[in-house]
Structure 1
């Protein structure tokens, strides 16, 4: 329903209401550290009366991409580097709120998408590379000076680098499940990973699918997703409107990076992050956020009558 509703909206309508949705969910993200529900040492969810528990950042992500695209493509700000500065302010504001929760996975995801969008807008690569190195140095410094707050990151990195240190139960069981699934899988409901690993239906959905349905279905799903991404990227080559191009770049990069991180964690190429698998992992907030992104992509890639204004 969400996908269909958004895909049928006029583009100018989406652009007009964008700032309001962004501000609303940014404020909700601000409330998470104050009144959020703590689960396993992290405050990432809000419990609001009459509403199911939800994770604001999951729904904020598509609006974050839209607002970045609107700033970078704005005709009211002529200096390109001033535009980048404004996007940086928003980025660091969101990253700060995520750091308090803490939520490293979403932080990496948003920062990576910001880099892709800024790079695609035409910024000098050397300047972007220098900025990236500065951010890495700042990140390492924060880990060094605030070990009590961000020690869990170091713990995960050490556990990833040296499996003999720390707890690697979840990642080991996920890898074992993928191997046990083989080509055809054990069958629907026959997998054991979802009973052995907490949050397997979200953080380890790739491994759950591999165990129950096998490598053949996984390969089919990946082909479908890559074909979808290819069609969006192909649309980008013909797109003349800068705003539309930036939104599509941001959304598809967000989905691709998220998929890569999720799969990387499941096959032990990356440390644990808590990132879900787009469109497949169970979770209300994640499903809503993905539906919004899919609706926006369909809206921006459909053909528009000549008499309809574009963004």
Structure 2
């Protein structure tokens, strides 16, 4: 193809030569699994709620197509573009999350969604990638501007997000955002004593959530005590993995999708385990691990503080989301309604994850003609310029 020629100097040609092809291929694989598992899991769920059999399939086709476009579009951005997107995205996501407290849709006692035509949006999903970029810029500016209060501003923004997510309430999302923020502080060189203190505060907050929020208390009790409460969903998911065995029962032969109300979303990994078996589940885990590990390994060659902090925060959030979904389905942790990136049904999730991976690809692109020590660095005004 002419557009992929080594001498092609178009924007697409430069992007193709500089982007991480392995990570891009992994994203394609996950989107492919998203289509396959949605075809398997969603018709039964749609019929059960009285909707058209193909309703979820048609919607997810559009969501994943849009997600693929977002990945490619965002990955073409410069570092300056990623910073701007992080600032604008953080402002919009925080405002929209605050709006849910007033005009949000209440589902199971929580206000996390805003109704739009054809879909509902969960604004807090977009906080994860945008806040990670915002925090990275604020922390990196301390090395450029001597008296810039980057740490205080980052903590202040986190405090606003903490209050909003606690008010919804969305303890799971708050846990993910907190973990991403703490991981960035650790990478930034926070004193180990303070790191231990932050870890202690997170544990204390978890204990407080156990006593203050009934749904958290219920989930933890059911996880710790098998004879307490309703274990129907997790027991059904575990039986699905057992029925699937090593090679699976075959496409369309699973039964878990007919039994679980969230088989197309929170428990889609159980559908994969029953119909395609252990080997495919291990392959899916390997794909997620490849994206995370490859991004972190590429950071070993970088000396740009913003790039290191932003990328580490983004992949931490991505990897943690995948881990929480799969681990809760396997009953390794208390159940939490969190989607499996690119695979579970959901427009907000698909687009926010696409934004995350697009930013990772944009930040880890190889800049042609620049050595490791001459990469772009942020100046005091937040713009990027090449070192002499």
- Structure 1 position 32, deviation (Å): 0.9
**Residue-pair matches, total:** 305
Deviation per CA, 1:72-100: give whole Å up to 9, x if none: 111465469x5333222222221221122
- Map 1:169-208 onto structure 2 (within 5 A): 169-208=232-271
Comparing 12-21 with 249-258, which one deviates more in the overlay? 12-21
Give the equivalent residue in structure 2 for 1:59.
126
Give unmatched runs, 5+ long, in structure 2. Answer: 1-68, 378-383
Cα 1:225–1:136 change in 2 (3 A) is closer
Cα 1:11–1:218 change in 2 (3 A) is same
Give unmatched runs, 5+ long, in structure 1. Answer: none
- Map 1:196-235 onto structure 2 (within 5 A): 196-235=259-298
Deviation per CA, 1:112-154: give whole Å up to 9, x if none: 111111101101111121132134334434654xx4xx11111
Q: Tell me the TM-score normalised to structure 1 length.
A: 0.91
Give the equivalent residue in structure 1 for 2:159.
92
Cα 1:214–1:129 change in 2 (3 A) is same
Give the equivalent residue in structure 1 for 2:171.
104
Matched, 1:305 2:364: no
Deviation per CA, 1:179-234: give whole Å up to 9, x if none: 11111112222222222112222111211111111111111222222222222111
Give the equivalent residue in structure 2 for 1:262.
325
Cα 1:122–1:155 change in 2 (3 A) is same
- Match 2:91 to one of 4, 8, 23: 23
**Contact 1:261–1:275 (8 Å) recurs in 2:** yes
- Structure 1 position 281, deviation (Å): 1.2
Query: Cα RMSD between the aligned structures?
Result: 2.0
**Take 1:208 and 1:159, find their aligned partners in 2: how far apart are those partners?**
22
Cα 1:77–1:198 change in 2 (3 A) is farther
Higher Cα radius of gyration: 2
Give the equivalent residue in structure 1 for 2:112.
44
SS of 1:74's partner is helix
Cα 1:51–1:247 change in 2 (3 A) is farther
**Take 1:297 and 1:229, find their aligned partners in 2: how far apart are those partners?**
10
- Match 2:347 to one of 284, 295, 300: 284
